[in-house]
Amino acid sequence: MSSNDSTWKQRKRNDFGNAKAQCLGKRDKSFQGRIDARAVEVCGIINERDDMYTTSSCAGRCFLYRGVGIKATTDFSRFRISHELIKDPKRYFDLSTIEEDPTGGGDPVRTIGQYDYKVDINGTGEENDKEVAESNDSETEVIMDNTDASNSSSSNDSVVWLRYEPFILHVACRSLSVASLLMATARPAFKNVGLTAWKEGRYLVAIWGDEGLEMPLCTPIGMPLFPPNDDSVSKWLAQLCNERHERNWSKIQRFRQNLREMKPPTDDDPDEYQLSFADNPDDRTPVPRSFDVIGDIAYLHSIPEDADSRLIGESIMSKNKSIKVVVARRSNLEGTERAPGEEGLEIIAGADRSPLITTHTEYGIKCVIDLNHTFFSPRMGQERLRICQQVARGENVLVCFGGVGMEAFQIAGRTEASSVVYVELSHHAVDCAKRGHRMLERNKNVKCIGAAERLEIIQGDVLDVVPSMEQSFDRILAPRPKEGKLDSDLGTGDGGAQFLKVLLTRLKEAGECHWYDFVADWEYPACERTRTLIFSVCDELGLKMEVLHVARVGSVAMRQLRICLDFKVLRS
């Protein structure tokens, strides 16, 4: 393959990667402000790949509406949106209480009143993307307070309709072979699969279910078509929706399993996945296969003993002009801070920087990192994105073991959470977080109004700080450090149970916790030891728990994984 072909192919990959970063970095403009819970894992598996990313998704929902039935118009009002089973049919289908009870036992109404929303009448999404709206729902919609929905329609039509919308997903693929592989993976679960748009380097695949339902519940003058006080009718209507929910969820589960087993595509061009990134074919400098780029610093976790570290550093800098310093770690990460210490990093190329501090940018959000005294991994950027996609509008979020603050900054800057509280013990990390907080105030890339004002930074031990809090939280992140050398060992031998007991006391009813743990590779994805720990703590506190998802976050050592177990707490 000629050098021109190699350069052209590399440019295509870079263009696709930039488009992916811009799409996933946007604020979710859907009504909930987050990805549907049952679509999180599917989107996560797809977005982990370099050759595809999701542009919109909906896990399936039922709702009542008035109007013409087209969401991307002002003459459309929705009520009682429910992504879960209808458990109180009489309340849900009571049309006389739509105005005073807009939820009807369905999803909570997400209204804060501090954000501006753009109305997209044409349903084309943002001006620079005419193919599909890049939001959580399958179509861009007019965002409004449901409590005023009855007055929002410009039409005198009083017909109330019941609609069920099945799973729908749009995925951008880098090549036609990748799109073909994805469609073949989806068809055993969903028959409606196809290409909706394509251009060189970007092929848009649409996947949608067939469990639809649409029926009127009253006449144009508002007279109910079914006896209003007949419980059997309400139960029958709920059964129609619930059966579709369950069939739809079963198909999502099958699709999710197929995605896990999906193999890399066999491309027509064998060089598509075997590109050479060497500028000079005669250059035989032994550059490591992988290293982290943190800000303007290249971070090598190890170097062979017989290698010339200076040549390696200079070779890395020659291939990436944005790198100003190359460092190599010479000691293990130990203690709760998981930092190499003053003598743990060696500068092998570039400026002699002391202290070793840099500014790192991720999806437009910046943080300050002290490499000697704090732990930070750019490889967890995908995990931070996954968490942000689950934060709904109006949530109160607690970020424990916050480190340099990137998780908290991402949530405050890219979601519409009402408040974000950051807690960290290390004064080095807190100093970095405070500097990053000041940068958040001035960052023009932050699209959510008042991001810095909604973030509170607290220094202290989680075991001391959290019990003294009066506030309860909708979501808690616990990316706890790995202190011990064994799987799930935090030095105390309890797998972090003492932290979990404290955190769960501050979690609201139906609140979600993202609990990070360490397991052997053979334990994943069951992670029974982690599940047993959480279950036992919840049982001790008189709580019920429901596991939502188990995500593989990264590798901490040979055959040792870091995982995140997402679970919901129920007190009733």
Query: At which of 206, 230, 261 does a domain end?
Result: 261
pLDDT of residue 480: 83
| Domain co-membership, 386 together with 533 | yes
pLDDT band at 28 (very low <50, low <70, confident <90, very high): confident
Tell me what pLDDT residue 3 has: 55
Q: What's the confidence (pLDDT) of residue 447?
A: 75
pLDDT in the model for residue 508:
93
Position 139 in a domain: no
Tell me what pLDDT residue 220 has: 82
Instruction: Report helix, strand and coil shares of the chain as percent, to nearest 5.
Output: 30, 25, 45
Instruction: Please report which helix (H) or strand (E) contains residue 345, including its range.
Output: strand 345-350
311 lies in a domain? yes
pTM above 0.85, yes or no: no
Interval 472-522: pLDDT, tens? 999 999 998 776 554 444 445 577 899 999 999 999 998 999 999 999 989
Q: How high is the pLDDT of residue 332?
A: 78
CATH number at residue 302: 3.30.300.110
Nearest to 462 by CA among 512, 511, 500: 500
**Tell me, what's the pLDDT at 289?**
66
Give pLDDT, residue 116.
43
Q: Would the pLDDT of 441 be above 80? A: yes
DSSP per-residue letters across 356-418:
-EEEEEETTEEEEEETTT----GGGHHHHHHHHTTPPTT-EEEESS-TTSHHHHHHHHHS--S
Domain-embedded: residue 344: yes
Confidence of residue 351 (pLDDT cuts 50, 70, 90): confident
Residue 158 belongs to a domain: yes
16 vs 275, more confident:
16
Residue 151 lies in a domain: yes
Query: Which range marks the domain in which residue 327 is found?
Result: 283-354
Is 423 in the same domain as 535? yes
Both 153 and 25 in one domain: the answer is: yes
First to last CA, the chain: 64
Confidence of residue 281 (pLDDT cuts 50, 70, 90): very low
What integer is the mean pLDDT of 330-334? 77
Preceding peptide of 525 cis, ω within 30°: yes
Handedness of CA 171, 176, 181, 187 (dihedral sign): positive
Tens of pLDDT, residue by residue over 371-418, are 999 999 999 988 998 899 899 888 999 999 999 999 999 999 988 899
Asked whether residue 7 is domain-assigned, the answer is yes
**Separation between Cα atoms, residue 269 and residue 240, nearest integer Å:** 48
Q: How many domains does the chain have?
A: 3
Is the CB of residue 377 less than 8 Å from the CB of residue 292?
A: yes
Of 3-12, 132-141, 224-233, 285-294, least confident by mean pLDDT is 132-141
Q: If you average pLDDT over every residue of the chain, what do you get?
A: 81
Same domain, 377 and 495: yes
Residue 246 lies in a domain: yes
- How many residues belong to the chain? 572
| Res 274: pLDDT | 32
> Same domain for 158 and 256?
yes
Cβ proximity of 378 and 294 under 8 Å: yes
Residue 278: is its pLDDT beyond 50?
no
pLDDT at 82: 92
pLDDT digits (tens, 9 = 90+) for 109-162: 765 544 444 433 333 333 333 333 334 443 333 333 343 443 444 444 678 899
Same domain, 216 and 159: yes
* Domain co-membership, 421 together with 325: no
Looking at residue 98, its pLDDT comes to 85
Question: Domain boundary residue among 213, 231, 261?
Answer: 261
